[in-house]
Chains A and B, each alone.
Chain A
């Protein structure tokens, strides 16, 4: 069954889009990430104009993160205080990122900056996580039990001034590194056009030792607000949000996110981290391959404007 998308100005298969929404929603609900870095390339691959793809998939992220955040809220697995601090840093980072984006574009090096940062970010984060996971798996297999973390045993960055107690996350940490983290994620998000959930989740897990269940809920809550802002801005500035496509993606996405969140609850924490590491590394490798392999069609077309 085909349906015409009035803003993208092309027709797509309804079932295909529903299925894609569901698959990406599942991954997003499972790991507490937005999933935009999966959906955008898929939509562009279908032939949807890049501007429409980027703008419209944010509607799906809003829907699926609403579902996840509400579910986490009900299970009390959402640290609103932590999310609030993250949001403040995130907004400042986004503003900085937008400024940097314009500056790099003026210098004509934007393409290179984006591509290199993508590959570096994904490969380094994925690689580190995978190493950690494998070590963890190995030690459980040998029967060695990790000594449980004792109270008051913290890395130096957590002991900086302005310490705040985040009850839900069971951490007592300086607000400065949390702000710094969200600032850099907001920055990367604006420059790379991604939500940054996949950086936030491992960072909260590994750097701040926030419990896995709370990480997913908190990350989804933060993603909800940033993406909501992005969606409205895209609609106003670029008029590139296709409501029909958005609706299809949302319907598929909310169901997928439900199943994903449910699957996530039954997943062991070490397996969760291993799977997330593999996903991030796979995306990094995909971008790297695209970069170094000689393209079959070196030319590409971009319609810059329509004339009446």
Chain B
């Protein structure tokens, strides 16, 4: 609701900028995980339509595509020195972190939007990580943990910011390949496309896709949660069976 209101305010603030409409579409709405899944790539296509009365803009169109994976709670821990040893010391819990966050822009984000816009619209990794509502702790050393969170997620390829991730095929048609690493978890992924020109937000469009386990992987995962005891006993039985089989195979006498 608050988000919608903020968006509305932005649109109003942009004044006559409502003249453009943005259409976005995905190469697929479902990424299926099978046994040989090693990650995937989906492509966001977009078109900008300008109504006939509007005059052409001085600057070029700029687009930022943001992909947010399912939310998760994450604890960031810092090792600190206690006597002669290093052990986990201070920690901070973040409650609403997207498991995957990809930001793909057509130019450096600092050139596209002002810091205020970035904060309000959550554009760019920096703005998402610095958002006040992602953690409940209000520590004084808050920033260190936010920085560490971004750094570690980037290292795992789960946070990506690419200033040239969106390319214009024609002045009004663009394409954004979104790489999904194998560790990007199953769930719903939101795609948020924002259109800027001359530092003004012109239009915004959203769509989504899902990453799901299929076939054997899906059945096994369901079985392990719904019939946990049976699943545990089954795994144990398999382990015992293989242990016994090995003695039969290797029996010398």
Contacts and interface: CB of A to CB of B under 8 A. Distances in A.
Interface of A: 2-4, 6-7, 9-11, 47, 59-60, 62-67, 70-71, 74, 111-112, 115-116, 228, 231-236, 239, 241, 243-244, 246-247, 250-251, 254-255, 257-258, 291-295, 297-308
A231 B243 contact: no
B27 to A, nearest CB: 21
Given A6-B33, A60-B239, 14 more contacts: A2-B36, A4-B36, A11-B37, A112-B87, A239-B228, A243-B224, A251-B242, A295-B79, A298-B79, A298-B80, A298-B86, A304-B75, A307-B71, A308-B70
Interface stretch (B6-14, B170-178, B229-237): B229-237
A305 B73 contact: yes
B232 A299 contact: no
> 8 shortest A-B CB distances, which residue pairs?
A66-B243, A235-B232, A299-B148, A254-B246, A62-B239, A6-B217, A232-B232, A63-B243
20 contacts: A4-B36, A4-B217, A6-B213, A9-B183, A11-B37, A11-B38, A63-B240, A63-B242, A64-B243, A66-B240, A70-B244, A235-B229, A236-B232, A243-B231, A246-B239, A295-B86, A300-B77, A302-B75, A302-B76, A303-B72
A301 B232 contact: no
B235 A67 contact: no
A63 B39 CA distance: 32
A301 B93 contact: no
Nearest to A256: B246
Name the residue in A47, A63, A231, A308 with the highest tally of chain B Cβ atoms < 10 Å from its Cβ. A63
Given A299-B78, A301-B75, A301-B76, A243 B152 contact: no
Nearest to B97: A303
Contacts of A300: 76-77, 79, 88, 152
Chain B's interface size range is: 35 or more
A246 B247 contact: no
B236 A67 contact: no
B53 interface: no
Contact of A243 (B99, B235, B243): B235
A62 B235 CA distance: 10
A9 B75 CA distance: 19
Given A4-B34, A115-B85, A232-B232, A306 B72 contact: yes
Nearest to B75: A302
A291 B39 CA distance: 35
A303 B74 contact: yes
Nearest to A12: B182
B66 to A, nearest CB: 19
A61 B38 CA distance: 28
Contact of A236 (B76, B221, B229, B242): B229
B246 A243 contact: no
A55 B13 CA distance: 55
B227 to A, nearest CB: 10
Contacts of A257: 246
A241 B231 contact: yes
Nearest to B155: A297
Given A299-B151, A300-B77, A2 B232 contact: no
B77 A4 contact: no
Contacts of B140: none
Interface of B: 33-39, 70-80, 82, 84-88, 93, 96, 99, 145, 148-149, 151-153, 182-183, 185-187, 213, 216-218, 220-221, 224-225, 228-229, 231-236, 238-240, 242-247, 250
A235 B243 contact: no
B76 A3 contact: no
A18 to B, nearest CB: 13
Given A4-B182, A10-B183, A304 B74 contact: yes
B87 A243 contact: no
A14 to B, nearest CB: 10
A70 B232 contact: no
Name the residue in B99, B148, B149, B242 with the highest tally of chain A Cβ atoms < 10 Å from its Cβ. B242
Nearest to A74: B247
Contacts of B182: 4, 10-11
Nearest to A250: B242
B72 A307 contact: yes
Given A6-B221, A63-B240, A70-B247, A115 B233 contact: no
Nearest to A229: B236
Nearest to A237: B228
B217 to A, nearest CB: 4
B147 to A, nearest CB: 9
A111 B239 CA distance: 31
